[in-house]
Structure 1
Amino acid sequence: MASSVQVLGPREVPLGGPRAMTVRRTLPSRGRSFVGAWCFADHYGPDDVAATGGMDVAPHPHCALATVSWLFSGEVEHRDSLGTVATVRPGEVNLMTAGRGISHSEVSTPATTLLHGVQLWVVLPAGAADVDPRFEHHVPEPVTPAAGVEARVFVGLLWGSTSPVRVHTPLLGAEVALEPGAEVGLPVDPGFEVGVLVDTGSVRLDDVEVAAAELGVRPASSGEREPRLVAGDEGARVVLLGGPPFGEEVVMWWNFVGRTHDEVAAAREAWEAGADGGAGRFGRVEGYEGEVSRIPAPALPGVRLRARGNREAGPPPGAEPPAMS
């Protein structure tokens, strides 16, 4: 029987601002828009900061989504329009719920020599799209679910470890490190889609090979047998993503999520209206020092943006600017 696991390869894109860094993006892709409510996955590094300058993303807006930052090495300073100043460190999750609107900046710290991690987004369901923005931080304790396997659950519940960060749909997010040949079952809800983003090495997900930088996705309709990971000869480190299939259609463009073209256009207009220094819908980030004070929103394409769900192949040409932040 043919496997139902889908393997998505990355595409390289610049991550916003005048000093853009290159990231490997697997979500959204032509083949899939979501894994559960996870709607965006950027994988970057290891990046020699002395050679590249590291990360310097000026203030930019978000709405109707949540951002999840997870590092393997290096540090990133986060500032947002709530007044939060926090440092993202390896093994510590920062979750920022944008809700009705927030802005933030991200800059690698002077102490960082090697920058390596993932930036993830979660789409908020319609009933939570306009919640008040908030910022949460959590340091998950490592767990050992099998011989040669260590995991840190930063969102949701797995292997008896529960993250307290608040989400608006059932979700799973975890880092899993596997020694060569190690294997482990994933006792997730059978209604979950499961994504495996490989950072280093390679794994088999339900006997399908998933190489470094690829995202393997097992659909929720794969039967009652729980997903299983087996590391290759060099071992592996992966990020697990999961959740029930997201049943809504959304418009996802630049840093905004909406249900219609008009919602996204209104968000863009509100961000640009704040260019004169006024706070407005997205607030103002204090203390950022960079080449520019904010990232302007690109022009909307010459066609109306259409909503899409997970069954569609992806955005029409021109609907997704390459430098999403």
Structure 2
Amino acid sequence: MSNVEAHPEETVCTGAPEREVEVIPAREVPLGGPRAMLVQRTLPTKDRSMVGAWCFADHYGPDRVDDSGGMRVLPHPHTGLATVSWLFEGEIEHTDSAGVHAMVRPGELNLMSAGYGISHSEVSTPETEVLHGVQLWLALPDSDRNGEKAFQFHAPESVPLPGGAGTLRVFLGELAGSASPVTTSTPLLGAEIVLDAGGGTTLEVDARFEHGALLDTETLRFEGVDLTRSQMCYAGPGRTSLTVANPGATPARVILLGGVPFDEDLVMWWNFVGRTHEEIVEYRAQWETQAERFGTVAGWSADERIPAPPLPNSRLKPRRRRD
């Protein structure tokens, strides 16, 4: 998915370990024009840039396509990151400049690594009546960020939670004895947890990881902290277990993200992840001149693309994590 904000904020992300538990509120962002689909964004924010290598998190729906217009994200570029698409309802057609054409469906992971540079489009299918899901980005470490573009698919099995209080799908990493075969550049966790009404569980986790719990439904208690819909709760590294509970009368669904704190400074602006102001300027110029770096997306004309917004008048500056 593209970040189509007219005035995207530059972000430099760093990785100082923290142990606190905090609630990250969501802000509403329109994706496109007058009938824009609205998303709830929790990463990045002023106070929390990343959770492990997770550097971007949008939550959307359930939205009726008749009302929202659905998703029609024209070809747009990425550098230095991987996109993670995860749906609860609907279907999205993905096409990229590496020649990959894939359908994003509920409960199926689509991970696209931009590497040195890629472009892609995302369009909800005509059969889709409701769109509902999350779009996530992963920052690639310096060792991999200039590598080849790649695509991975995985349909994880739904397994019972410890104690039988619900179900779990692990799409990245390992949790509660369930593991994903998808490879990532840094140690990560990504899982969908569905808790029965009134249910709860305690999960053993990697103490090196920091974690973020993004709530899809109405209410959840994460490590004793209450969440409401579209909020994320952050827990710093050092924990060997996490407790989640559903105080509501209906099932609760949460996306649990985790990873080792990212130990590289990076600049994120629009759809680009780099390391310096000069890199971002170069990426933007190459996209605007249709350089080979980003390739072309089959099925779209040269004019069907998202133009890069103007750069800010000042030099892109760091926005560092709160110590």
TM-score with structure 1 setting the length: 0.90
Is residue 88 of structure 1 aligned with residue 104 of structure 2? yes
Distance 1:255 1:8 in 2: 22
Alignment correspondent of 1:133: 149
Relative to structure 1, is the Cα distance of residues 288 and 163 closer, same or farther in structure 2, using a 3 angstrom cutoff? farther
Deviations along 1:222-279, one digit per CA (max 9) or x if unpaired, are: xx451110112233100000001111111100000000000111111110110xxxx6
Tell me by how many angstroms 1:183 deviates: 1.1
Relative to structure 1, is the Cα distance of residues 242 and 57 closer, same or farther in structure 2, using a 3 angstrom cutoff? same
2:315 to 304, 308, 319: 304
Distance 1:17 1:77 in 2: 20
Alignment correspondent of 1:293: 304
Is residue 193 of structure 1 aligned with residue 204 of structure 2? no
Distance 2:139 2:34 in 1: 27
Is residue 177 of structure 1 aligned with residue 194 of structure 2? yes
Tell me by how many angstroms 1:162 deviates: 1.4
Distance 1:210 1:233 in 2: 12
Tell me by how many angstroms 1:116 deviates: 0.2
Tell me by how many angstroms 1:22 deviates: 1.0
Alignment correspondent of 1:280: 292
Alignment correspondent of 2:15: none
Alignment correspondent of 2:230: 213
Relative to structure 1, is the Cα distance of residues 50 and 154 closer, same or farther in structure 2, using a 3 angstrom cutoff? same
Distance 1:20 1:115 in 2: 13
Is residue 30 of structure 1 aligned with residue 46 of structure 2? yes
Moved over 6 A (4+): none
Give the AA of the match of 1:233.
G
Relative to structure 1, is the Cα distance of residues 66 and 10 closer, same or farther in structure 2, using a 3 angstrom cutoff? same
Tell me by how many angstroms 1:308 deviates: 4.1
How many residue pairs match? The answer is: 303
1:204 to 204, 214, 221: 221
SS at match of 2:23: strand
Matches within 5 A, 1:34-49: 34-49=50-65
Tell me by how many angstroms 1:67 deviates: 0.2
Alignment correspondent of 2:75: 59
Alignment correspondent of 2:8: none
Distance 2:190 2:29 in 1: 23
Distance 1:283 1:267 in 2: 13
Give the AA of the match of 1:306.
K
96-105 or 16-25, which moves further after superposition? Answer: 16-25
122-131 or 102-111, which moves further after superposition? Answer: 122-131
Give the AA of the match of 2:175.
L
Give the conservation status (yes or no) of the 8 Å contact 2:165–2:201. no
Give the AA of the match of 2:154.
H
Tell me by how many angstroms 1:133 deviates: 0.4
Identity of aligned pairs, percent? 54
Alignment correspondent of 1:315: none
SS at match of 2:93: strand
Structure 1 residue runs of 5 or longer lacking an equivalent are 313-325
Distance 1:98 1:196 in 2: 25
Is residue 149 of structure 1 aligned with residue 161 of structure 2? no
SS at match of 2:146: coil
Quote the RMSD (CA, aligned, Å).
1.7
Alignment correspondent of 1:118: 134
Q: Which gives a bigger RCO, structure 1 or 2 (Cα 8 Å, sep 6+)?
A: 2
SS at match of 1:191: coil
Give the conservation status (yes or no) of the 8 Å contact 1:81–1:103. yes
Tell me by how many angstroms 1:310 deviates: 3.1
Relative to structure 1, is the Cα distance of residues 94 and 44 closer, same or farther in structure 2, using a 3 angstrom cutoff? same
SS at match of 2:246: strand
SS at match of 1:186: strand
Relative to structure 1, is the Cα distance of residues 14 and 104 closer, same or farther in structure 2, using a 3 angstrom cutoff? same
Tell me by how many angstroms 1:19 deviates: 5.6
Distance 2:36 2:285 in 1: 24
Tell me by how many angstroms 1:188 deviates: 1.2
